[in-house]
Amino acid sequence: MNQRIFAGFLIVGVVMFAIAPVYIARAPYESTMGLIQKIFYFHVPAWFVMFSAVFISGIFSAVYLFKQKPVADRIAFAAAEIAVLFGVIGLITGPLWARKSWGVWWQWDARLTMALILEMIFCAYLLLRRYGGPGSDKLAAGLALFGLANVPFVYISVNVWRTIHPATSVVPQLAASAPGMFGPFVWCTISFFVLFFVMLMTRIRLEEQRAEVERLHLIVEKG
């Protein structure tokens, strides 16, 4: 990618991320939860990005498995690392919110447990890539597909097994039910996605450079 365009995305992402707390502070308070509900503006976009990264990793893993294209493996690996990162953000901000609004740090309900399993699948993916040795790329690709298959279950789990966690209807109805919250939420979501794009492009570049190192090592050893 053109370096100027990339730098532009990086600046836009960082500036949007820096301004986000101002919009969040100006957003109205939720009537029952009060101040703690403002974690919502980072918690939900973090999961959106996590699911997107899992989607990208899963799709490109399938492409790698069936078409044997190394570039697809690099994209899948890069997206998997970012999925773990945003999963960690979601799994930290969620319990901080729950402690105040539910009175507990954690509930072993379907949504939380399945989200934790999804995070563990992608941690396993990274461990496999790091320590799995030769052939671990294909095994990891299979694991990413398994993680991708888990996403719809994580998403609908909260509607099927009604627990203390809010249902998925909160976000689609936000524009109508709380217009004052909708603007900051969209702002935060866009800033998270811009940062995600920047991270993904940089991470893919890192994988490309690593592949180049391996290629050059072979040339130098032969020479």
Q: Return residues touching another protein (CB under 8 A).
A: 17, 21, 34-36, 38-39, 42-43, 46, 85, 88-89, 92-93, 96-97, 99-100, 195, 198-199, 202-203, 205-206, 209-210, 212-213, 216-217, 219-220, 223
CB of 211 to another protein, least distance (A): 10
Nearest-angstrom CA–CA distance, 108 and 104: 11
Nearer to another protein (CB atom), residue 67 or residue 131: 131
CB of 134 to another protein, least distance (A): 21
Nearer to another protein (CB atom), residue 16 or residue 65: 16
Contact predicate 190/16, CB 8 Å: yes
Which of 103, 109, 220, 219 lies closest to 164, judged by CA? 109
CB of 101 to another protein, least distance (A): 9
CB of 21 to another protein, least distance (A): 7
69 in the Ramachandran plot: left (φ > 0), alpha (ψ -120 to 50) or beta?
A: beta
Nearer to another protein (CB atom), residue 39 or residue 128: 39
Contact predicate 12/194, CB 8 Å: yes
Question: What 8-state DSSP symbol labels residue 29?
Answer: P
CB of 93 to another protein, least distance (A): 5
Nearest-angstrom CA–CA distance, 109 and 90: 16
Nearer to another protein (CB atom), residue 65 or residue 195: 195
Which of 58, 15, 48, 212 lies closest to 147, judged by CA? 58
Nearer to another protein (CB atom), residue 65 or residue 188: 188
CB of 114 to another protein, least distance (A): 22
- The DSSP result for 181-220, as a single string, is HHHHHHHHHHHHHHHHHHHHHHHHHHHHHHHHHHHHHHHH
Nearer to another protein (CB atom), residue 160 or residue 220: 220
